[in-house]
């Protein structure tokens, strides 16, 4: 997928370009108070211990300073500062009070992070978790395994796709939020988790030792008819952009590219910007609008695009945030055709702010626009070719969207 004439000099120029894009990103994001993805986790955790009231006040001030909506959902934010004065004694008191305060913003993305949740955020950025290595989804209230990561404890214990997790350590997880189930499955390295699963009519109990699992966010392969395929599963890992470059090298000889962003709920904005810059040689990639209404245009930095062959991007209703930044940039700049379902519609930018006691707040500080100036928040991006892909199709391994992408790409390559 890289230009055929790319020599050593081009490789050096490419590396310089990526570094330059990242520097530009850092400058813009610093002005927006965004956390830097290359700062070590220990530097981002505030382990100072304060009282429950002090933690609440720190949270209040963080929102006051950074939240994108200066009306705070049409309310007097100062009222909240005194709401719980002399009433908070424990960390649990503080958590309940902070969550109640944040709920008044009516913003599902602005939320308090407990010590455990805050640590998990940066485990993801460091591209590892401690668990068993399964990807799960909620299907009609049931926790279904939709894939098992190769070489992990789950695979070694013969956990399979389509297994239904019924109990985790004796706790019935039916109807439980998928994030809560994931939290129960994860744990300390070397500890044991007991799963009771349903496989067809059979009920099976598995005792699995948790391990540290390195997360690869990009995978690649070559499909029939000489089509390159790259799936970016998440933009959260600090290695995502470099993994994508390696994937491009793996499919260098193919005639076209299918870029799969289905199920990718987002991650670091920098990753989306860098990947987009590989396709786009000039013009806007994304615009960031901050609290004061100031607009920052992030533009392409490379003089020559490194990916030049026909590209189809697969999207669905779970493609969100950074996935929408990339797909929106490629669509608006006419660098790719979109196939699948309308994307999720998350056009907001969050900052993770560390708070005392090892906690933090994930807070909305800006919104973004696609290169054409489109605000996709709560609207999503419509694909050029809308194709359904049902749960029944998935069970039958009949990927209707991928088949359509291959068909569209074949036509693009023949023109």
Q: Which domains does the chain possess? A: 8-27+215-358+366-414 (3.90.226.10), 42-123 (3.30.750.44), 130-214 (2.30.42.10)
Residue 37 confidence class, pLDDT cut points 50, 70, 90 = very low
Residue 383 confidence class, pLDDT cut points 50, 70, 90 = very high
Q: Residue for token digits 């999720």? A: 344
Note the pLDDT of residue 149. Answer: 80
Note the pLDDT of residue 19. Answer: 57
With vertex at residue 276, the alpha carbon angle to CA 411 and CA 246, rounded to the nearest 5 degrees, is 85
Q: How far apart are CA 181 and CA 164, in angstroms?
A: 12
Instruction: Give per-residue pLDDT as tens, 290-301.
Output: 888 889 999 988
Q: How far apart are CA 83 and CA 97, in angstroms?
A: 9
pLDDT value at 215 more than 80:
no
Tokens representing residue 381 in the block: 């991006």
Return the minimum-mean-pLDDT range out of 34-38, 81-85, 291-295, 355-359: 34-38
- In 3D space, the residue among 406, 413, 407, 412 whose CA is nearest the CA of residue 258 turns out to be 406
Note the pLDDT of residue 23. Answer: 53
pLDDT value at 9 more than 70:
no
Residue 257 and residue 222 in contact, taking contact as beta carbons nearer than 8 Å: no
Instruction: Give per-residue pLDDT as tens, 328-339.
Output: 999 999 999 999
For residue 125, give Cα distances in angstroms to 82, 295, 331.
36, 27, 27
Cβ neighbours for 255, distance < 8 A, ≥ 6 positions apart: 226, 227, 309, 310, 413
35 vs 60 pLDDT, higher one: 60
CB hemisphere CA count around 137 (13 angstroms): 11
Mean pLDDT for the chain?
A: 86
Residue 89 confidence class, pLDDT cut points 50, 70, 90 = very high
Neighbours of 32 (CB within 10 A): 18
Instruction: State the catalytic residue, choosing from 184, 233, 331, 346.
Output: 346
Instruction: Give per-residue pLDDT as tens, 269-281.
Output: 888 999 999 999 8
Bridge partners, residue 340, by sequence: 315, 386
Instruction: State the catalytic residue, choosing from 327, 332, 335, 404.
Output: 332
pLDDT value at 22 more than 70:
no
20 vs 388 pLDDT, higher one: 388
Bridge partners, residue 208, by sequence: 193
Q: Residue for token digits 């997928």? A: 1
Active-site residue, 163 included: no
Q: Residue for token digits 């005792």? A: 207
Instruction: Give per-residue pLDDT as tens, 221-249.
Output: 999 889 999 999 988 877 888 899 999 99
Note the pLDDT of residue 412. Answer: 95
Rg (CA), the chain: 22
Active-site residue, 184 included: no
Cβ neighbours for 178, distance < 8 A, ≥ 6 positions apart: 136, 137, 138, 143
For residue 173, give Cα distances in angstroms to 37, 131, 138, 159, 252.
33, 17, 11, 17, 44
Active-site residue, 114 included: no
Residue 403 and residue 227 in contact, taking contact as beta carbons nearer than 8 Å: no
Q: Residue for token digits 């049409």? A: 74
Instruction: State the catalytic residue, choosing from 321, 327, 331, 335.
Output: 321
Note the pLDDT of residue 183. Answer: 82
Note the pLDDT of residue 283. Answer: 92
Residue 243 and residue 221 in contact, taking contact as beta carbons nearer than 8 Å: no
Cα 89–chain centre separation: 36
Mean pLDDT of 168-177: 92
Note the pLDDT of residue 352. Answer: 87
The helix (run of H) or strand (run of E) holding residue 360 is strand 360-369
Burial code (b: 16+ CB inside 10 Å, e: under 16) for 303-334 equals: eebbbbbbbbbbbbebbbbbbbbbbbbbbbbe
Note the pLDDT of residue 135. Answer: 81
The helix (run of H) or strand (run of E) holding residue 377 is none
Bridge partners, residue 313, by sequence: 259, 338
Q: How far apart are CA 137 and CA 164, in angstroms?
A: 10
Return the minimum-mean-pLDDT range out of 112-126, 157-171, 187-201, 267-281: 112-126
């Amino acid at each position: 997928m890289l230009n055929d004439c790319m020599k050593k000099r081009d490789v050096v120029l490419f590396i310089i370009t990526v570094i330059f894009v990242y520097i530009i990103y850092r400058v813009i994001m610093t002005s927006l108070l965004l956390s830097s993805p290359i700062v070590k986790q220990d530097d981002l955790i505030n382990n100072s211990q304060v009282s429950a009231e002090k933690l609440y006040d720190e949270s209040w001030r963080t929102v006051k300073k950074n939240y994108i909506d200066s009306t705070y959902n049409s309310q007097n934010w100062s009222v909240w500062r005194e709401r719980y004065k002399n009433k908070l004694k424990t960390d649990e008191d503080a958590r309940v009070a902070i969550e109640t305060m944040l709920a008044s913003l009516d913003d599902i993305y602005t939320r308090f992070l407990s010590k455990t949740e805050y640590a998990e955020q940066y485990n993801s950025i460091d591209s590892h978790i401690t668990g068993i290595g399964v990807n799960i989804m909620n299907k009609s209230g049931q926790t279904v395994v939709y894939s098992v990561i190769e070489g992990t404890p789950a695979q070694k214990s013969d956990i399979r796709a389509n297994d239904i997790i019924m109990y985790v350590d004796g706790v019935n997880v039916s109807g439980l939020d998928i994030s809560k189930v994931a939290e129960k499955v994860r744990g300390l390295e070397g500890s044991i988790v007991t799963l009771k699963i349903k496989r067809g009519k059979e009920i099976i109990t598995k005792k699995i030792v948790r391990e540290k699992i390195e997360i690869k966010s990009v995978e690649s392969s070559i499909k029939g008819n000489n089509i390159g395929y790259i799936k970016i599963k998440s933009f959260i890992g600090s290695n995502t952009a470099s993994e994508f470059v390696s994937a491009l090298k793996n499919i260098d000889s193919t005639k076209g590219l299918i870029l799969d962003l289905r199920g990718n709920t987002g991650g670091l904005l920098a990753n989306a910007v860098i990947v987009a810059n590989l396709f786009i040689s000039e013009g806007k990639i994304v615009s960031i609008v901050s609290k004061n209404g100031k607009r920052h245009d992030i533009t392409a930095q490379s003089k020559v695009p490194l990916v030049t062959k026909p590209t189809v991007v697969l999207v669905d209703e779970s493609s969100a945030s950074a996935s929408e930044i990339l797909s929106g940039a490629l669509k608006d700049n006419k660098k790719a055709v979109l196939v699948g379902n309308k994307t999720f519609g998350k056009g907001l930018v969050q900052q993770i702010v560390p708070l005392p006691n090892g906690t933090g707040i994930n807070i909305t500080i800006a919104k973004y626009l696609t290169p054409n100036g489109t605000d996709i928040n709560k609207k999503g991006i419509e694909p050029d070719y809308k194709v359904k892909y049902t749960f029944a199709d998935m069970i039958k391994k009949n990927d209707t969207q991928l088949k359509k992408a291959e068909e569209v790409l074949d036509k693009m390559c023949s023109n």
